[in-house]
Amino acid sequence: MLPEDISQYGYLVDRVIKLSIWGIVIVGIISFFIVFYILYKFRRTKNPFPLSDVPSGLKKVVVIDYVMIIFDLILLFVSTWAWFFFFVRPVEKIKKEVQEKGEKFVEVRVIGRQFFWAVEYPGKDGVFGTYDDFKLGNLLVVPEGYNVFVKLTSGDVLHSFFIPNVRIKYDVIPGRETHLWFKPVKVGKYEIACAELCGAMHYRMKGYLVVLKEQDYLKWLDSAPFSEISFVYLEGDKINFVRGGEMR
Amino acid sequence: MSEAVASAGAIHHEESFLRKYLFSKDHKTIGKQYLITGIAMAILGGTLAILFRINLAHPGFLTNEQYYAFVTYHGAIMFFWVAMPILLGGFGNILIPLMIGARDVAFPTLNMFSYWVFFVSSVILIISFFVPGGAFSGGWTVYPPLSADPERYLGANLGTVLFLLALALEFASMLMGGVNFITTALTMRAKGLTLMRLPIFVWMEVVASLLFLFSVTPLIAGAVMLLLDIILGTHFFRVEAGKVGDPVLWQHLFWFFGHPEVYVILFPALGILFEVITTYSRRPVFSYKLVVYAAIVAGILSFLVWAHHQFVAGINPLSATAFSVTTILISIPFSMTLVVMGLTFAGGSIRFTPAMLFAIFAFLMFIIGGLSGLPLGAVGSDIYFHDTYFVVTHFHYTVFTIAVLSTIAGICHWFPKMFGRKINETFGKIHAWLTFIFYNGFAFPGFFLGLAGHPRRYYSALEFGYLQKYQWVHELMTVSAVLLLTTQVVFLFVFFYSIFAGAEEKSPNPWKSTTLEWLAPSPPPHLNWGSFAPVVERGPYEYARNGKDIDYLPQGKLVKLKQPASSGHEH
């Protein structure tokens, strides 16, 4: 059911999802089995008069409570691990760690608006506020294997920036700046959804995450003379204004 | 025949008809008024749900504005105009005084007033649907700035204001009811009825009323701020350059109320289930004290979990971790309660009456609903599941179970007491099975949509490539939902038919139940006990005591009063 995970660290979230889902499926099936057994065994036609006490074997069902407590603790541990990794550590610290590991990163700003994502790129120099900044509508183009740091804010109402394929979601809030971080490791075109009701066209607030090979990305950046918001949508698998960059 | 009598009464004794059926101070009549109004609103809320559900299967059936308005009103109606009035106003009013052996609630006039405030709030809500500018469509959680600046974002200025006004009146009404329940249960219990002898249903109503009392205040403050934002253009939640309000503040105020609110309706439903399950399995509650203490602990904890609705909403990530811990913690008292409920069946002699079938199905659905809360409470997986169909499915497994399954279990169980008549049993059993099947057919696939990352509140899934392949799931869900509503509509016909023309129930205690309400005649007269007064001698669930012929001991007995009862307990 889960969409393909194309990020380096998405497995941390997947681990929590799988642990919690399998845990509740197993506990649920066992509970249902016990309930059906009890209902069948103590039906009126079989057992016309109630017993004066619960059979001692069945009293052991209370063990489920302890099982749940232990399961809760394990789940909390794994879950908090993922949460700390993505969101509790300050972005600056993550950036520093990434640089120390010798990995590269790009930064973008995403502004949620009714009903599109405006994506601001710092351009070739990687610095915001310089002449080569440019904006694109609904297109987040990033290089494969780079860490991507996204600063989120909203131009109007609440939105929520959700990329199912990298298992990341965070609300986009007017008057505040929030942060996301992910590391895509597979070339391709993926969808970005809005997950917070933002008005009548909420369901059409769709963006694309386009992951390019490093050299394609650099070529694309060279040929990106965009200085104003561009509402260019993807057509099929092609970004129609890309010069030189070949999508695979 | 009784219809003719009623209408004859209306012609010849206009005033007494008004006093008896409209502006009555009798807790049972008020309870029935709440019940009937709640059912009427449920038909409305259910119809809205079917309409937008059809749209999800065939996008284009509604416009997107209609879709979002329907979704908004469906949520608000089912929570505030169905679950609360039926479980608190309806069952609470009818049962609390009877179960504690009182003649009425502590403040009968306030009680009448609370119903009429509720009625007005329902009318305003319906009016708000049709005002110029359109119905409010910002979601039942009313998140600003979308809701705070309707002119800019939705063009539904008047609709939003009326929506909030209706909510405020509904809260006022439920507060009056809650004060009544708490006072009644604490001060008007029959002789010998100690707190630890109270039926669990009464405990649950009292805890629920207390939760509501404590949690609603911040929301009322928030609602006033929101109204100021809308009407006067203040900036509590609105954000504009230079004047920065904070939309997240609303979420805190809303969910500080919103989470306890879930338990406000959950607890009475659990109370109903315990009454029904003990009666039809002929066994006492496996551990009465554990259930009561678990409810109190969960009630207190429910004030410490609200931000799990906001894990990825911009709150301090470290505090999200703390709220994740409290949320997982709160699952412990509930898992204990459910284990106790399961063991209450054990050793019994189980009668599969309609009420019992509904209670069993409700119990099973609560297991699914409770367990599916864990992936959402665990903050790591909530990153992915937040605001997806997994959430929607989780809360439908709890709230539908509360508002429909438990409620119908209660209606089937207390119907003879309320109306002195019976509902056909064979029909009831078929109804229970069909409800169970169609409900799961409608709800369960939602878990898979959630896993697939389908965001909630989407007018159509066809816009997104990764969701298109799940369109057939929406179609399946819609078919089941239509069948589910149809089943309930048939039930309502039978329900109303049985009120007027069902077979008469002669015995005051047809189910051989223990609690005090079964000592009163069916239906109980005004002031309930006539020239008798109940005296309580033992705990509420004395089943399975001497095995064979008499397998239960009533909680108390009726004692003849020396002088006739006065006109009740007006204060």
CB crowding A125-135: b at 16 or more within 10 Å, else e:
eeeeeeebbbb
Q: Do A200 and B65 touch (CB under 8 A)?
A: yes
Q: Tokens 């063991």 — which residue?
A: B343
Interatomic CA distance for residues B41 and B90, integer angstroms: 13
Rounded mean pLDDT of chain B?
Answer: 91
Residue of B364, B459, B545 lying closest to A35 (CB–CB): B364
Q: Is the pLDDT of residue A244 over 50?
A: no
Residue A158 belongs to a domain: yes
Residues A35 and A156 reside in one and the same domain: no
- pLDDT at res. A231: 40
Residue B567 belongs to a domain: no
Residues A116 and A70 reside in one and the same domain: no
Q: Higher pLDDT residue, B527 or A137? A: B527
Q: Give which of B384, B436, B444, B552 to mutate to test A binding, by max A Cβ within 10 Å.
A: B384
Interface of A with B in 86-125 (CB under 8 A): 86-88, 114
Q: Which chain A residues touch B544 with a CB distance below 8 Å?
A: 49-52
Q: How many CA atoms lie within 13 A of B114 on its CB side?
A: 30
Rounded mean pLDDT of chain A?
Answer: 87
Read off the pLDDT band of B156 (50, 70, 90). Answer: low
Residue A64 belongs to a domain: yes
- pLDDT at res. B210: 96
Interatomic CA distance for residues A52 and A243, integer angstroms: 83
Tens-place pLDDT, residues A10-62: 999 999 999 999 999 999 999 999 999 999 999 999 988 898 889 999 999 99
Cα-Cα-Cα-Cα torsion A112, B314, B334, B392, nearest 10 degrees, comes to 0
- pLDDT at res. B545: 76
Does A157 reach chain B within 8 Å, measured CB to CB? Answer: yes
Q: Which CATH number characterizes residue A182's domain?
A: 2.60.40.420
Residue B571 belongs to a domain: no
Q: Is the pLDDT of residue A81 over 70?
A: yes
Mean pLDDT along residues B158-181:
93
**CA distances to B256, B325, B330, B332, B505 from B301, in Å:** 12, 11, 6, 11, 43
**In Å, how far is A43's CA from the nearest CA of chain B?**
5
Residues A175 and A100 reside in one and the same domain: yes
Letter for the amino acid at A61? V
Q: Is the pLDDT of residue A116 over 60?
A: yes
Does B383 reach chain A within 8 Å, measured CB to CB? Answer: yes
Interatomic CA distance for residues B472 and B456, integer angstroms: 17
Residue A81 belongs to a domain: yes
**CA distances to A25, A203, B101, B121 from B112, in Å:** 47, 44, 20, 14
- pLDDT at res. A17: 97
Read off the pLDDT band of B555 (50, 70, 90). Answer: very high
Tens-place pLDDT, residues B46-99: 999 999 999 999 999 999 999 999 999 999 999 999 999 999 999 999 999 999
Residue A244 belongs to a domain: no
- pLDDT at res. B154: 63
Q: Is the pLDDT of residue B329 over 80?
A: yes
Q: Do B349 and A78 touch (CB under 8 A)?
A: no
Tens-place pLDDT, residues B173-227: 999 999 999 999 999 999 999 999 999 999 999 999 999 999 998 998 999 999 9
Residue B231 belongs to a domain: yes
Q: Do A80 and B324 touch (CB under 8 A)?
A: yes
Residues A99 and A49 reside in one and the same domain: no
Residue B487, both tokens: 């089943």
- Number of residues in chain A: 248
Residue B569 belongs to a domain: no
Mean pLDDT along residues B399-405:
96
Residues A119 and A41 reside in one and the same domain: no
- pLDDT at res. A235: 54
Tens-place pLDDT, residues A28-38: 999 999 999 99
Residue A170 belongs to a domain: yes
**Reported pTM:** 0.93
Contacts of B27 (CB under 8 A, 6+ apart): B93, B94, B96, B97, B104, B105, B108, B111
Q: Do A203 and B459 touch (CB under 8 A)?
A: yes
Domain count, chain A: 2
Domain count, chain B: 1
Interface of A with B in 49-78 (CB under 8 A): 49-55, 58-59, 61-62, 64-65, 68-69, 72, 75-76, 78
Tens-place pLDDT, residues A144-175: 999 999 999 998 899 999 999 999 999 999 98
Letter for the amino acid at B52? F
Q: Is the pLDDT of residue B8 over 60?
A: no
- pLDDT at res. A227: 42
Residue B92 belongs to a domain: yes
Q: Which CATH number characterizes residue B84's domain?
A: 1.20.210.10
Residues A39 and A132 reside in one and the same domain: no
- Number of residues in chain B: 571
For A43, nearest residue in chain B (alpha carbons):
B350
Task: Give percent of chain A with pLDDT exceeding 90.
Answer: 67
Q: Say if CB A208 and CB A138 are below 8 A apart.
A: yes
**What are the φ/ψ torsions at residue A48 (nearest 5 degrees)?**
-65, -25
- pLDDT at res. A125: 85
B496: left (phi over 0), alpha (psi -120 to 50) or beta: alpha
Residues A134 and A212 reside in one and the same domain: yes
Read off the pLDDT band of B157 (50, 70, 90). Answer: confident
Residues A80 and A100 reside in one and the same domain: no
Residues A99 and A202 reside in one and the same domain: yes
Q: Which chain A residues touch B70 with a CB distance below 8 Å?
A: none
Interatomic CA distance for residues B198 and A233, integer angstroms: 65
Tens-place pLDDT, residues B337-350: 999 999 999 999 99
Q: Which chain A residues touch B246 with a CB distance below 8 Å?
A: 175-176
Residues A115 and A35 reside in one and the same domain: no
Letter for the amino acid at B461? A
Sign of CA dihedral A84, A86, A87, A89: positive
Residue of B152, B339, B351 lying closest to A62 (CB–CB): B339
Name the domain boundary from A35, A57, A88.
Answer: A88
Does B571 reach chain A within 8 Å, measured CB to CB? Answer: no
- pLDDT at res. B570: 44
Tens-place pLDDT, residues B124-141: 999 999 988 888 888 999
Residue A129 belongs to a domain: yes
Q: Give the single-character DSSP code of A133.
A: -
Residue of A1, A54, A86 lying closest to B347 (CB–CB): A54
Domain that holds residue B107: 2-560
Contacts of B161 (CB under 8 A, 6+ apart): B227, B230, B231
Q: Which chain B residues touch A194 with a CB distance below 8 Å?
A: 455
Q: Residue B242: how many CB atoms within 10 A of its CB? A: 5
For A55, nearest residue in chain B (alpha carbons):
B347
Q: Do B349 and A50 touch (CB under 8 A)?
A: yes
Domain that holds residue A176: 92-222
Name the domain boundary from A60, A88, A116.
Answer: A88
The 3 state secondary structure assigned to A106-131 is: EEEEEEEECCEEEEEECCCCCCCCCC
Residues A26 and A72 reside in one and the same domain: yes
Q: Is the pLDDT of residue A247 over 50?
A: no
Tens-place pLDDT, residues B226-275: 999 988 888 999 888 777 789 999 999 999 999 999 999 999 999 999 99
- pLDDT at res. A228: 42
Tens-place pLDDT, residues B468-484: 999 999 999 999 999 99
Q: Is the pLDDT of residue B6 over 50?
A: no
For A115, nearest residue in chain B (alpha carbons):
B153
Residue B565 belongs to a domain: no
Interatomic CA distance for residues B197 and A152, integer angstroms: 56
Residue A169 belongs to a domain: yes
Residues A124 and A160 reside in one and the same domain: yes
Residue of B153, B286, B452 lying closest to A157 (CB–CB): B153
Residue A176 belongs to a domain: yes
Q: Tokens 């074997």 — which residue?
A: A57
- pLDDT at res. B5: 39
